[in-house]
């Protein structure tokens, strides 16, 4: 059947309407594809007169291809803003006119489908003036002062120990990991600066400990007898340091016990009633809590060092190591912060150097097997 002219006209009109609808829909879709901000712009750089700050565009959807900028100068609260003439690039150099004002940047994004409206950053902090460095303390030569302190430290050590010795302290180590490789380096100890600081801390803690003990003021002491170090509320000697009493009080920012003792010292100096009394539960609880935390920290530190030492032994494919005997069946590695039991170790004097065979490293249990191979002493 051949369609008549009227039918053809209706079909043509329908096609025209459909085409127009599709065109309008496409145009609407294109208008929705203009950039839209998903995270506001920010201002990068120091807000100091003479320096340059930069606009960070923030985050956008619909793939912007171009950004334009306008810098605004506002009051201290980020209000009453005025556009700065000619400042339409991504950066702005702060001037004296900007002093004590806040800055805002407007960012507009565009692509082939259109552009966004301007999106503003948060107001910046106040712009400040550049200040030249000012000397507060006259220059001085510190060499002579350090020499005096060194002599003083040596005298303190001699008074404690009966003589001064250039002892070699037990080594400490720095452990670093770079590109998944472990590096363990011995850290030098016993330098003049180390010994000056150490002696001054021992002096102040022992002097304050003696003052607390002699006045009958309750305190927490660090004591050592029979080789064992412990905390106590009863003043007693510290054999390792060679002092009659020793109370941690010099580092209240890192040890709570020091804060407790300083509170007692301040009350004593002011003639006030001390915050803590002897055998008071609060004082005993502070001591117990500190000991628990101190022991937990020490255990964590030892396990951490042990893990990285074992990792290093695996990394370097170490089969034998030099070590030094501590006591029966116990030895310390010479170049690592690692102490281990050696069941096959013969009866040797402490301090004897030996060679150990290493095997069976377990990183989960933090264990390894060590076997005695031979003595390294010239007499061996």
Cβ neighbours for 300, distance < 8 A, ≥ 6 positions apart: none
The answer to whether residue 255 scores a pLDDT higher than 80 is yes
d(CA 273, CA 216): 12
Q: Are 339 and 332 in contact (CB under 8 A)?
A: yes
d(CA 344, CA 346): 6
Q: Do 302-375 and 36-120 fall under one CATH topology?
A: no
Output the pLDDT for position 28: 45
Read off the pLDDT band of 72 (50, 70, 90).
Answer: very high
For 343-358, write each residue's pLDDT tens digit: 999 999 999 999 999 9
Look at domain 36-120 and name its CATH class: mainly beta
Q: What is the DSSP letter of 227?
A: T
**What does the domain layout of the chain look like in residue ranges?**
1-31, 36-120, 302-375
On average, the pLDDT of the chain sits at: 84
* Percent of the chain's residues with pLDDT above 90: 49
The answer to whether residue 369 scores a pLDDT higher than 90 is yes
Read off the pLDDT band of 252 (50, 70, 90).
Answer: confident
* Percent of the chain's residues with pLDDT above 70: 85
Q: What is the DSSP letter of 239?
A: T
Mean pLDDT of 272-301: 91
The answer to whether residue 339 scores a pLDDT higher than 50 is yes
Note the pTM of the prediction, 2 decimals.
0.53
For 289-305, write each residue's pLDDT tens digit: 988 988 899 899 999 99
CATH fold of 302-375: OB fold (Dihydrolipoamide Acetyltransferase, E2P) (2.40.50)
The answer to whether residue 17 scores a pLDDT higher than 60 is no
* Cα 374 to the center of its chain, rounded Å: 43
For 188-234, write each residue's pLDDT tens digit: 766 778 888 888 999 999 999 999 999 999 999 999 887 788 899 88
Q: Are 187 and 172 in contact (CB under 8 A)?
A: yes
């Amino acid at each position: 059947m051949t369609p008549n002219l009227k039918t053809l006209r209706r079909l043509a009109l329908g096609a025209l309407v459909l085409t127009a609808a599709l065109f309008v829909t496409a145009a609407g879709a294109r208008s929705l594809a203009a950039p839209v901000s998903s995270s506001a712009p920010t201002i990068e750089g120091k807000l100091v007169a003479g320096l340059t700050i930069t606009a960070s565009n923030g985050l956008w959807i619909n793939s912007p291809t171009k950004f334009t900028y306008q810098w605004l100068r506002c009051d201290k609260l980020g209000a009453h803003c005025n556009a700065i003439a000619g400042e339409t690039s991504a950066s702005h150099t702060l001037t004296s006119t900007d002093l004590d004002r806040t800055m805002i940047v407007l960012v507009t994004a565009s692509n082939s489908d259109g552009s966004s409206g301007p999106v503003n950053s948060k107001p910046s902090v106040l712009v400040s003036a550049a200040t030249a460095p000012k000397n507060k303390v006259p220059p001085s030569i510190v060499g002579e002062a350090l020499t005096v302190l060194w002599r003083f430290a040596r005298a303190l050590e001699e008074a404690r120990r009966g003589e001064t010795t250039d002892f070699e302290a037990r080594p400490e180590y720095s452990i670093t990991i770079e590109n998944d490789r472990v590096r363990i380096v011995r850290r030098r100890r016993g330098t003049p600066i180390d010994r000056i600081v150490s002696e001054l801390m021992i002096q102040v803690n022992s002097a304050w400990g003696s003052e607390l003990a002699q006045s009958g003021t309750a305190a927490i002491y660090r004591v050592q007898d029979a080789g064992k170090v412990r905390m106590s509320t009863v003043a007693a000697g510290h054999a390792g340091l060679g002092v009659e009493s020793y109370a941690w009080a010099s580092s209240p920012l890192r040890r709570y016990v020091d804060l407790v003792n300083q509170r007692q010292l301040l009350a004593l100096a002011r003639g006030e009633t001390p915050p803590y009394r002897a055998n008071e539960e609060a004082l005993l609880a502070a001591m117990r809590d500190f000991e628990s935390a101190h022991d937990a920290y020490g255990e964590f530190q030892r396990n951490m060092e042990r893990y990285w030492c074992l990792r290093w032994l695996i990394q370097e494919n170490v089969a034998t190591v030099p070590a030094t005997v501590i006591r029966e069946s116990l030895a310390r590695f010479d170049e690592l912060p690692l102490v281990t039991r050696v069941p096959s170790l013969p009866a040797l004097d402490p301090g004897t150097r030996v060679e150990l065979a290493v095997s069976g490293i377990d990183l989960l249990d933090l264990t390894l097997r060590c076997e005695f191979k031979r003595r390294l002493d010239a007499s061996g």
